């Protein structure tokens, strides 16, 4: 049986780093010698997205190009910018603009365009008004949807008639363009009680590692508080939580010592090959993304939304990315990766990997910036 979790990622550094160089930068920029798409990523995309091998490889190539194009296309749109997303059907980045006169300049960058009524700035302002409201438990989340050019409020289907939910929705509609959608369940975090042989523990909680950084690793904030001790699968001390934030955010980082060290690898759990991490360029809405966690191992899906506010029972968490990837208790803190680019750490969601569901992650670059950390890259 493959040794799971933190120990496999950190202890076997000699094996995991064989053939890696020290010259790679940690800024998220790809190297000049472009590596081939990981066989493990391609395999998981075939299984979870229903693609052929060639379709998965072509999509990863197109998504990488779209990710690199986002900044240039946004600059070309100027004040009329309405948001971006990756269109899997065309294989291109699409940019929403409110000014038709800007469409030509955006297309000149290589992106497609769509003319919309509201700018991203206007929609962000509407979302900010919703963030200032107190949301009842029946309201699961809200985010800006650039494709629909509106702010989407997700309501738990069984709670849609609740008076507090109706009142929240009424206030939201007054703020600006708002669309209400239904979701099957309320979101919850994916921490779990102690189970023998799992990747790391703090108190009676089991969680999963996110990504190695120089000096430690990042994970979910709801997994532990600053100062809390962290133990490995064998019960030996690893380090302590050096920083943690939850709710409002859901991120934390743990220092590594006592003979443990870090490598730029995300575990494939024997289902796929272990994945090298080469940077942290943020994939656009619509791009594929895969997740690694100690409970359900490897699963893939698509990026559904960004900057979503998630209304957990413990409080709201902001600036989250929503995906169609499934997860279950114990996967909290685990890695979200697109191609070879780190995306974020697993926070929570609804559903499971038998019947499906949705999962949110806290973006990796926000965590790195908050704590002044450097991602360990291959």
Cα–Cα distance between 53 and 170 in angstroms, integer?
47
280, 288, 332, 335: which one is catalytic? Answer: 332
325: part of which helix (H) or strand (E)? none
Task: Measure the CA–CA gap between 371 and 85, rounded to whole angstroms.
Answer: 29
Burial of 76 (0-12, 13-18, 19+ CB in 10 A): buried
Active site residue 361: no
C-alpha 169/C-alpha 347 separation (Å) is 25
Residue 27's Cβ-count burial label (10 Å; 0-12, 13-18, 19+) is exposed
| DSSP-derived secondary structure for 190-207 | --EE--TT-SEEETTEEE
Active-site residue, 75 included:
no
Is 332 catalytic? The answer is: yes
- Which residue among the candidates 118, 143, 222, 297 is catalytic per the annotation? 222
Q: Select which of 48, 198, 250, 340 is catalytic.
A: 250
Q: Read off the tokens for 171.
A: 């206030």
DSSP 3-state assignment of 72?
A: helix
288-293 vs 297-312, strand pairing mode: antiparallel
Backbone dihedral angles phi then psi of residue 307, each to the nearest 5 degrees:
50, 45
Instruction: Supply the residues annotated as catalytic.
Output: 222, 250, 332
């Amino acid at each position: 049986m493959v040794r799971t979790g933190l120990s496999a990622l950190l202890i076997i550094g000699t094996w995991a780093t064989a053939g890696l160089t020290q010259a790679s930068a940690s800024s998220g920029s790809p190297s000049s010698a472009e590596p081939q798409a990981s066989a493990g990523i391609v395999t998981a995309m075939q299984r979870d997205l229903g693609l052929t091998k060639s379709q998965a490889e072509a999509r990863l190539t197109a998504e990488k190009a779209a990710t690199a194009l986002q900044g240039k296309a946004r600059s070309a749109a100027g004040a009329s910018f309405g948001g971006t997303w990756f269109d899997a059907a065309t294989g291109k980045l699409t940019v929403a603009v409110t000014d038709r006169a800007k469409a030509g300049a955006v297309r000149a960058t290589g992106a497609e365009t769509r003319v919309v009524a509201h700018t991203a700035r206007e929609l962000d302002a509407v979302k900010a008004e919703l963030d200032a409201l107190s949301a009842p438990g029946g309201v699961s989340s809200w985010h800006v949807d650039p494709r629909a050019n509106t702010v989407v409020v997700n309501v738990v289907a069984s709670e849609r008639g609740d008076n507090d939910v109706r009142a929240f929705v009424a206030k939201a509609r007054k703020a600006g363009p708002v669309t209400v959608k239904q979701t099957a369940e309320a979101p919850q975090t994916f921490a779990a009680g102690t189970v023998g042989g799992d990747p790391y523990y703090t108190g009676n909680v089991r969680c999963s590692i996110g990504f190695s950084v120089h000096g430690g690793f990042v994970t979910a904030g709801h997994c532990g508080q600053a100062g809390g001790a962290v133990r490995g699968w064998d019960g030996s001390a690893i380090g302590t939580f050096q920083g943690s934030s939850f709710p409002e955010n859901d991120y934390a980082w743990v220092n590594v010592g006592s003979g443990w060290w870090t490598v730029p690898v995300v575990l494939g759990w024997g289902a796929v090959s272990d994945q090298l991490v080469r940077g942290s360029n943020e994939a656009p809405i619509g791009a594929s993304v895969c997740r690694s966690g100690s409970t359900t191992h490897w699963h893939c899906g698509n990026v559904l939304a960004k900057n979503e506010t998630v209304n957990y029972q413990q409080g709201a968490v902001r600036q989250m990315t929503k995906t169609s990837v499934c997860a279950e208790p114990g996967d909290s803190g685990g890695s979200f990766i697109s191609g070879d680019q780190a995306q974020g750490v697993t926070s929570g969601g609804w559903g499971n990997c038998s019947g499906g569901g949705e999962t949110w992650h806290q973006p990796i670059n926000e965590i790195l910036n908050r704590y002044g950390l450097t991602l360990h890259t291959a």
